[in-house]
Structure 1
Amino acid sequence: MNVLDLFGYLIDLLAVLLLALGLKGLSTVRSARSANGLAALAMGLAVLGLLLQLQPDPMAWLWIAIGTAIGGLLGLLTARRVPMTAMPETVALFNGCGGMASLLVAMAVALYDSDGADLVELISIVISVFVGAITFSGSIAAMGKLQGWLGTPGWTQSSVRHGVNIALAIAALVGAFALPGDPTGSPLWLLLVASSLLGIGVTLPIGGADMPVVISLLNSYSGVAAAAAGFVVGSQLLIVAGAMVGAAGLILTQVMCTGMNRSLVSVLFGGALGGSAPVGGGGGEAGYSRIVSCSAEECAMALENAERVVFVPGYGLAVAQAQHALRELSKLLEANGSEVSYAIHPVAGRMPGHMNVLLAEADVPYEQLLEMDTINPEFPRTDVVIVLGANDVVNPDAKNDAQSPLYGMPVLEVDQARQVFVVKRSLGAGYAGIKNALFELPQTAMVFGDAKAVLQQLCTELRSQGVGKAA
């Protein structure tokens, strides 16, 4: 081992340590930003360490520099231009890119450097191609569905899809078992094509309500593919990082399933909670008979006298880009002596942590973001709850109506509060496609309008009443 090899090896070990520390820091909102930077530094060091060990020729360095510049520029533009409402699609795309990267690494080794490969390396190539192809095609399909580019074909809602997916899985297995004997021949291409089509076939039938679970699962797949690619090229960091991402993705997937009262099997094979047709009756604006609406002025009067206020953010808040107006309102209430907090449901928004990131963008104090298990016991002593664009996650039928499709799903128990204001554009249903019993409760009043506009009106009304002037 020469000096450069030793130096590269030590850098690789340092990168593994920094990555572990970075991932640990992601467990809390307060340290997440610095931890993300630490993990990025670890990845940069890992690339440097690998290049020092491989010592590529000058032309290879040029191609590496060009690829790094293009990828870095695209990442920077994406990070700056993608709105929070499109973050789920962006995460799906990033998962797909991770799967594709692992796939390309395995394909390159199989086609150009498999002559001296041992059995472990060949099995790693199989896993990386299989999981990487599923991750890439499934992630692109998920992104297309979230963007509205892809619909849900009728055949994917019938038993036909199971037969198609089973046939594709068998074809992929045939290619996988045959690949060690012929790494550069037809088994590799059979495995690649069958796995890619399987990723699409599994993802297409899944509806919008279950998409957060799918994104989390695809994230786990990208980690497995990366770990397998690590064995292919002998990178310790890829193995460690892939294993961590794979395990974290599976844990998060289980958390999401629990938050929706769904099993992973039912999400992947049992149809969609938010599929092409409503699940229950009264999914549109019809079916309500006891709706009470009020103006922003009436809502502001209740807020002025409230000692404890809880905001419940939902996807409607993200659509309206109303997080900064919400923060402004909360500051006025705090200046008036109100205790303010935010109730975060595990599946609020369209991806895990969507609401946390949205509110952190508006500098909402981390300690005010309370998870469902923490905030639910506090609702009975809450004076006012403001629901902002959330729907299914606050529907009391999940607790009270055994006939409801939501029954058994853990929800935010806002119906226990003294007064509830629901800010929505209309009475339209959520992803579950059913009416919300919360809207007809005697303590509930609807404030119709765009979330940002309503919150700005509330701020104006409170200031006109002298709230916040002392601050």
Structure 2
Amino acid sequence: MNISLSIIYLIATVTFVIGLKFLGHPETAKKGNLISAVGMILAIIGTLFLHDFEVPTINYILIGAALLIGTILGWVIAMKVAMTKMPELVSLFNGFGGGSALLIGLVEFSKSVGVVEKPSAAITSTILSAIVIGSITFTGSLVAWAKLNGSMKDLRLPKYNLINNIIFILLVAFSAYIVLMNTDSYLLIYVLLIASLIYGYLFVAPIGGADMPVVISLLNSLTGIAAAITGILYDNKVMLVGGILVGSAGLILTFVMCNAMNRSLKNVIFGAFGGDSVAAGAGSKVGGTIKKTTASDAAVMMNYANKVVIVPGYGLAVAQAQHVIHELEELLTKKGVDVSYAIHPVAGRMPGHMNVLLAESNVDYDKLIEMDSINPQFTNTDVVLVVGANDVVNPAAHNDPSSPIYGMPILDVENAKHIIVNKRSMNAGYAGIENELFFNQKTSMLFGDAKDALTKLVAELKNM
């Protein structure tokens, strides 16, 4: 590798690290994304024009066409995607990354077919790892995408945990056999490929909806690992470092999501992703009566409050009501009310979903308070407004050992003096269970579409 390309790779690597650092806070996330993108562009340009080997002109034409088509498609998709569809887009992009890794693995394996000097066991192991991890990420991400958009339901085979674990062990054993035999048989490779694709499907298919944030984080980590493996295959340092950064960041995020969902990583990988536990808790019923309220009554309650905490959820995103809720927040603030937002790590359909949603409506980042910091404040909160959130405020996580979410850290909104919950209906949340909070004596239910209900609430407050 020439010195100029090495310098460009070093600069690109630094931009990746800086960009990842900036992505850790909503206020600097956009800048971090742009910095990383510039680094990636530099790495691509350097790879194309500063390499030490001959490349046919037709290859440049094909690569240029692929870059152009990919750029146009990516731009159009990113501009048109709705905020509610962002988790699905992330899953789809994860799948593309995995698919690229498995194709690279197949190409590299084909180079070893028919040659006298076979690749070393280390190289063969790396190739097989790219194929297996890429295949699992590809089909697993596509299944996650289908489940997120509602086109696929949970699939629960009898003893599916046992089946999945056996297939995983067989995949490892079969890969080891191919390495030890030092074979260049296409048949064995395609058997491994098909088995990995099937495992990726079975790995994600039984997952309950409440665990999807954990799965997205884990698949993101696998995509990074697959990219790092391809970096090893091509001896490409920037590809290796980028993959390691994505893989490690995804794994750290997976641990954060595991803690937020009250799951260990061992349980995520080899356990029952919530499917069995949901079934076990499905029999528990919540009793009591609900108290309805109107936009007028809710406005009066909030108008005379000193402190109001807003809890956003997926229903807010579905209704595209982020701009209206920001207007509500500004109106209350002008009236002297202390307003903040309580952000649960898994509110919405993916990590950071609510942060991005509220940033879109220019909500002050200082008003977005994480769960551990906001929970002690609820006892001094006059009114909590829950908009479209369900499982992350369900007291069953504390009170009901039979509940599938028992032990999950939640926002302790039940400790506030008054609670207003906006929902379309009394239907269960993403975890498929009833919410004890709705029957709390301090809770008033404001039924209706989030955008419509909040618009009426703003109108009432303006008249006061």
Task: Find the partner of 1:142 among 137, 141, 144.
Answer: 144
1:163 is matched with 163
| Alignment of structure 1 residues 304-343 onto 2, 5 Å | 304-343=303-342
2:459 alignment partner AA = T
Work out whether residues 169 and 198 of structure 1, in 8 Å CA contact, stay in contact via their aligned partners in 2.
no
Change (3 A) 1:308 1:223: same
Change (3 A) 1:193 1:403: closer
- What is the deviation of 1:11? 1.0
Bigger Cα displacement from structure 2, 430-439 vs 140-149: 430-439
1:255 is matched with 256
Work out whether residues 291 and 444 of structure 2, in 8 Å CA contact, stay in contact via their aligned partners in 1.
yes
1:174 is matched with 174
2:231 is matched with 230
1:125 alignment partner AA = I
Task: Find the partner of 1:29 among 26, 30, 43.
Answer: 26
- What is the deviation of 1:402? 3.0
1:295 is matched with 294
- What is the deviation of 1:408? 1.3
Equivalents in 2 of 1:169, 1:193: separation in Å?
A: 15
2:208 alignment partner AA = G
**Superimposed CA distance per residue, residues 26-58 of structure 1 (whole angstroms, 9 cap, x where no aligned partner):** 111111101101111111111122222145221
What's the secondary structure of 2:305's corresponding residue? coil
What's the secondary structure of 1:423's corresponding residue? strand
Change (3 A) 1:185 1:282: closer
Equivalents in 2 of 1:89, 1:204: separation in Å?
A: 15
TM-score normalised per structure 2:
0.94
Equivalents in 2 of 1:173, 1:188: separation in Å?
A: 13
Equivalents in 1 of 2:437, 2:373: separation in Å?
A: 21
Work out whether residues 179 and 187 of structure 1, in 8 Å CA contact, stay in contact via their aligned partners in 2.
no
1:195 is matched with 196
Equivalents in 1 of 2:419, 2:3: separation in Å?
A: 64
2:252 alignment partner AA = I
| Alignment of structure 1 residues 266-281 onto 2, 5 Å | 266-273=267-274, 279-281=280-282
Equivalents in 2 of 1:118, 1:14: separation in Å?
A: 32
Equivalents in 2 of 1:119, 1:83: separation in Å?
A: 46
What's the secondary structure of 1:244's corresponding residue? helix
Bigger Cα displacement from structure 2, 226-235 vs 145-154: 145-154
Percent sequence identity is 45
1:432 alignment partner AA = A
Change (3 A) 1:393 1:277: closer
Equivalents in 1 of 2:176, 2:150: separation in Å?
A: 34
2:122 is matched with 120
1:246 is matched with 247
Work out whether residues 50 and 235 of structure 1, in 8 Å CA contact, stay in contact via their aligned partners in 2.
no
| Alignment of structure 1 residues 402-441 onto 2, 5 Å | 402-441=401-440
1:323 alignment partner AA = Q
Change (3 A) 1:412 1:456: same
1:385 is matched with 384
Task: Find the partner of 2:155 among 153, 156, 167.
Answer: 153
Change (3 A) 1:356 1:84: same
1:170 alignment partner AA = L
Equivalents in 2 of 1:106, 1:44: separation in Å?
A: 24
2:459 is matched with 460
Change (3 A) 1:160 1:250: closer
- What is the deviation of 1:107? 1.7
1:421 alignment partner AA = I
Bigger Cα displacement from structure 2, 75-84 vs 174-183: 174-183
- What is the deviation of 1:238? 1.2
Bigger Cα displacement from structure 2, 388-397 vs 218-227: 388-397
1:24 alignment partner AA = K
**Superimposed CA distance per residue, residues 39-85 of structure 1 (whole angstroms, 9 cap, x where no aligned partner):** 11111111122222145221110000000011111111110111111
**Superimposed CA distance per residue, residues 215-237 of structure 1 (whole angstroms, 9 cap, x where no aligned partner):** 11000000111101000011111
- What is the deviation of 1:175? 3.8
Work out whether residues 281 and 404 of structure 2, in 8 Å CA contact, stay in contact via their aligned partners in 1.
yes
Long gaps (5+) in structure 2: none
2:450 alignment partner AA = A
Bigger Cα displacement from structure 2, 38-47 vs 5-14: 5-14
Equivalents in 2 of 1:206, 1:58: separation in Å?
A: 47
Long gaps (5+) in structure 1: 466-471
2:402 alignment partner AA = Q
Equivalent residues, number: 458
Change (3 A) 1:276 1:266: closer
Equivalents in 2 of 1:183, 1:38: separation in Å?
A: 42
Work out whether residues 167 and 199 of structure 2, in 8 Å CA contact, stay in contact via their aligned partners in 1.
no
Bigger Cα displacement from structure 2, 43-52 vs 82-91: 43-52
- What is the deviation of 1:131? 0.7
